[in-house]
Structure 1
Amino acid sequence: MPDFLYFIIEVLWGSIMIYLLLGAGIWFTLRSDFIQFRYIRKFGKSLKNSLTPQPGGLTSFQALCISLAARVGSGNLAGVGLAISAGGPGALFWMWVTAIVGMATSFAECSLAQLFKEKDKNGQFRGGPAWYMSRGLGMRWMGVLISLFLLIAYGLIFNTVQANSVAHALRYAFDFPEWLSGVVLAAFILIAISVGLRGVARMMQWMVPVMALVWITASLFVTAQHIDQVPWIISTVFKSAFGWQEAASGAMGYTLSQALTAGFQRGMLSNEAGMGSTPNAAATAASWPPHPAAQGIVQMIGVFTDTIVICSASAMILLLADPAPHGTETAGIQLLQQAMVNLAGSWGAGFVALIVILFAFSSVVMNYMYAENNLIFLKRDSRHSLRLLRLGVILMVVAGSLLSMPLVWQLADVIMALMAITNLTAILLLSPVVTLIARDYLRQRKLGVQPVFDPTRYPEIEAQIAPGSWDDLPRQ
């Protein structure tokens, strides 16, 4: 089975995904007039605006935090370790590339999710890839397909990845039995997902910033103690990204292909740009300013924070310590724990274990919310169905703590590629709408007025929008 999965991964990631991700990112960068570069200096203002509450949905900041909760999981810790182990220091460079081009892709998918959102039976905004495929493209069958992929990925497979990292971390740090780690984690997750979307949003808007800040601060502290090595590490990252380091030394090392593939795989699992997951969170917001592009810009902050900031913090610790050789079989999270012990002392393993518990817990809780959202699209959100979904989530958390690490990550790579291919196809087909949204927003910004989306200006889009989603906004 692992050999078959490895073959599928080689086909998907070696021949399709890298070109599709790069191509889509570059395409949306051009179609949105380089929006990620235009607004990177204004992220602070966008965050301030995102705190403004509006009726019918979460605040944009809450939507950002719940999307970050899903993004900031073991991929930011164990995934970075696996990327560097498989592709060398240069994999970090290609993770940065996935973030830079992925910001434009994230803007596209999250703006579309905002545009085609609709209210559920409780008056809460809902949306995501299934909605913009159904409404924007008129292809409900495609919406059903992506919903099924999301249910399998976020209801089942990705939860095993998170639980697997927690179990390995606790075993390494405290010799804690894997099965017990899974059971305890599953119990806390069951309690958290029982409070509903708004309850989870309130919890995550405090939990996510705190846990991210703790990890970044720890990384900066350790890096400051070895500041003399930082210039050499940065140079190594860039040289290794293109195979220059090995070519100069005449040694057989990491190739450009290894670095690029590992960086894109782990980068996408971390920031999720283009995968179709984040739009499920973006659609829940009552965006302010009241324009679809405003939420797209806020969600770009999530991609930047996740990969450029948090993953780089993890990578710096790994590269400073150089804890494992090329081709190691050590679990990704244990690489990071070894690195922290080498750099900071024996407390490092336990500290990393605590961080991965927080990251994994927040990620699994939001994975469930994404899966539940797609049950709503499929009109299968009865109490019985929701109980079955919750049972599936906690069983996969327990199972993930016991499964072998390579199998878990291989399954994640396969389902991630299938989701991304489906979602990227849809948003590329909808790229004229993305261009219209971006230019409408930029036009109003240039005029010095607060951007407001007026669907009556675009009759071809107005007919596809859900009734009540944009009707009550002030007109220009």
Structure 2
Amino acid sequence: MDAVNEFVLASGDLLWSWIVLPLVVVLGLYFTFRSGVVQFRLIPEMFRTLTDKTPRDESGEPQSVSAFQAFTISAASRVGVGNIAGVGTAIAIGGPGAIFWMWLMAFVGGASSFVESTLGQTFKVRDADGFRGGPAYYIERGLKARWAGVLFSVILIVCFPFAFSSLQANTISATVSSTVAPDGGATWIPWVVGVVLAALTALVVFGGVRRIASVTQAVVPLMALIYLLIGLVIVAMNITRLPEVFASIFTQAFGFNEVVGATIGTIILTGVKRGMFSNEAGLGSAPNAGASAAVTHPVKQGLVQTLGVYFDTFLICSITAFIILVSDPDLENATRGIGLTQDAIVANLGSWSSILLSIVIFLLAFSSILGNYYYGESNIEFITPRRGVLTAYRSLVVLAILVGSVAGADLIWNFADGIMGLMAVVNLIAIALLSGIAFTLLRDYTHQRRQGRDPVFTRDLLPGVSGIECWVDEASVTGPIDLQTSKRQSSKHRDHLHHDD
């Protein structure tokens, strides 16, 4: 098993060093400049669209999940063990400097997130629960390459609902075990945790996307608030060390870290990998959630999902880094995973806090499992409409949760890194080829906003683009409630798409 683990680790490092990292950086910078730094310029719009009113159908029911619910589904997947165990792993491997590269890549990756989620909305399709979409759909419909869409779907299904969810379950199990039996003697605990977690997962995932949305809508804000409060208390207790922490993050980002033995290449690679695992910018996962929302313009979900990247990295990941670094940890002997964060919290708040952390870890990881499951479901439905396959998929996800709770963590982490790299490559190539559509839609959105309108998109605004199923007319986009307002606002903006603003 050690030989397999070493092979998986070496293969993953080669993929990330020579293919994924250059693609992430080059395309992120290209999208940033081509969009006029949309990830910074339209931050106020991100907050405005987050609470957008959901268009309704003829019966008065929401057409699908709301913009905020789609945000929480994607945040549920983003905000998980990557924010606690992943940041701890990044610091253990690359030192404090890895955090700088996580921050930088979150900002650059915000532009990639905007492009992919805007495309996800543009090429979404209708289903029984509302809408679904994502990279597989815009690859098939935008690039006319169904084989590549199926390839992406298979990679995502292996990566998120199986590898990543197993990792989430493993972290819950490890945290509970270390809390209940610090001496490691209770080998039965992981099995009990696995059975309970699998049962809870089954109760939610067999209920469909709306049940997932209702659960994540309640859990995500709660877990974020609890964890942020823990972090703020610990930072306040060690406030005099904060300048030193910031100094170490910036100074060690560009040079050899003698404590952990990390070279500049290791520091950068660790920060980018752990950052992408956490915020998923450009990875191709968030568009699956973003496409499920009922909004009046694709750019709205592009902006909302970019805000999700910031929420994940600049808020949740940063507080984990501060918790660890203000506690002056022994990085030379630090273990990867949850241990570094857990030790820092217990050292500051006492042994009782391990119970509180177990609760937070459970909420974080369980919500991630639900978000990961939904990503897989959307791609299963892309491959085949057969309900029997979907039922089998749900059953296998529940089984993966049980297995992940009792399996070894190292192989799962390394395998997840490698499969995540493959997924990123397929998606980044696709959004690079389709990015012109996203930038055209961005111009349309900003043009309508300057006119004082609530932007509305219909597919006749992109006459040269085929494969767009939804967005037929303003009546279907805005819903009966808003139709008269949309008509009064008229469609004078249509011609500007082919002219300079």
For residues 143-197 of structure 1, give each alpha carbon's deviation from its aligned partner in whole angstroms, at most 9, with x where no partner exists.
Answer: 1111111111123111111011111111111126222221111111111112211
1:211 CA drift (Å): 0.8
Amino acid across the alignment from 1:219: G
Q: Tell me if the contact between 1:240 and 1:254 (Cα under 8 Å) persists in the aligned partners.
A: no
Cα distance in 1 for partners of 2:122, 2:330 equals 47
Query: Which residue of structure 2 aligns with residue 346 of structure 1?
Result: 351
Query: Which residue of structure 1 aligns with residue 308 of structure 2?
Result: 302
Query: Which residue of structure 2 aligns with residue 72 of structure 1?
Result: 79
| SS of alignment partner, residue 241 of structure 1 | coil
Mapping for residues 136-147 of structure 1, pairs under 5 Å: 136-147=142-153
| SS of alignment partner, residue 430 of structure 1 | helix
Query: Which residue of structure 2 aligns with residue 372 of structure 1?
Result: 377
1:24 CA drift (Å): 1.6
Mapping for residues 216-365 of structure 1, pairs under 5 Å: 216-243=228-255, 253-287=261-295, 290-326=296-332, 328=334, 330-365=335-370
Amino acid across the alignment from 1:268: M
Cα distance in 1 for partners of 2:260, 2:176 equals 35
Query: Which residue of structure 1 aligns with residue 456 of structure 2?
Result: 452
Amino acid across the alignment from 2:118: S
Counterpart check, 1:39 vs 2:42: yes
Counterpart check, 1:402 vs 2:406: yes
Q: Tell me if the contact between 1:336 and 1:352 (Cα under 8 Å) persists in the aligned partners.
A: no
Q: Tell me if the contact between 1:118 and 1:469 (Cα under 8 Å) persists in the aligned partners.
A: no
Mapping for residues 6-45 of structure 1, pairs under 5 Å: 6-45=9-48
| SS of alignment partner, residue 331 of structure 2 | coil
For residues 201-241 of structure 1, give each alpha carbon's deviation from its aligned partner in whole angstroms, at most 9, with x where no partner exists.
Answer: 12211211111111011101111111111011001100111
| SS of alignment partner, residue 119 of structure 1 | strand
Query: Which residue of structure 1 aligns with residue 7 of structure 2?
Result: 4
Mapping for residues 406-445 of structure 1, pairs under 5 Å: 406-445=410-449
Q: 1:466 to 1:42 in 2, by over 3 A?
A: closer
Query: Which residue of structure 1 aligns with residue 197 of structure 2?
Result: 185
In terms of mean alpha carbon deviation, does 349-358 or 126-135 score higher? 349-358
1:93 CA drift (Å): 0.8
Output the aligned Cα RMSD. 1.7
Cα distance in 2 for partners of 1:34, 1:7 equals 35
Aligned residues: 465
1:469 CA drift (Å): 5.4
Q: 1:172 to 1:364 in 2, by over 3 A?
A: same
Q: 1:283 to 1:470 in 2, by over 3 A?
A: farther
User: 5+ unaligned residues in a row in structure 2: which ranges?
Assistant: 58-62, 478-485, 492-501
Query: Which residue of structure 2 aligns with residue 60 of structure 1?
Result: 67
Query: Which residue of structure 1 aligns with residue 498 of structure 2?
Result: none
Q: 1:353 to 1:307 in 2, by over 3 A?
A: same
| SS of alignment partner, residue 252 of structure 2 | helix
Identity between Structure 1 and Structure 2 (%):
41
User: 5+ unaligned residues in a row in structure 1: which ranges?
Assistant: none
1:53 CA drift (Å): 4.7
1:369 CA drift (Å): 1.2
Query: Which residue of structure 2 aligns with residue 392 of structure 1?
Result: 396
For residues 93-133 of structure 1, give each alpha carbon's deviation from its aligned partner in whole angstroms, at most 9, with x where no partner exists.
Answer: 1111121011111110000010011112x261111111100
Structure 2 length-normalised TM: 0.89
Amino acid across the alignment from 1:208: V
Q: Tell me if the contact between 1:239 and 1:245 (Cα under 8 Å) persists in the aligned partners.
A: no
Query: Which residue of structure 1 aligns with residue 163 of structure 2?
Result: 157
Cα distance in 1 for partners of 2:456, 2:331 equals 54
Counterpart check, 1:167 vs 2:203: no
Q: 1:308 to 1:381 in 2, by over 3 A?
A: farther
Q: Tell me if the contact between 1:67 and 1:282 (Cα under 8 Å) persists in the aligned partners.
A: yes
1:324 CA drift (Å): 3.8
Cα distance in 2 for partners of 1:245, 1:416 equals 27
Structure 1 length-normalised TM: 0.94
Amino acid across the alignment from 1:27: Y
Cα distance in 1 for partners of 2:260, 2:218 equals 47
1:254 CA drift (Å): 2.6
Q: 1:322 to 1:198 in 2, by over 3 A?
A: same
Cα distance in 2 for partners of 1:280, 1:364 equals 15
Q: Tell me if the contact between 1:168 and 1:334 (Cα under 8 Å) persists in the aligned partners.
A: no
Cα distance in 2 for partners of 1:308, 1:172 equals 28
| SS of alignment partner, residue 449 of structure 1 | coil
1:345 CA drift (Å): 1.1
Amino acid across the alignment from 2:451: L
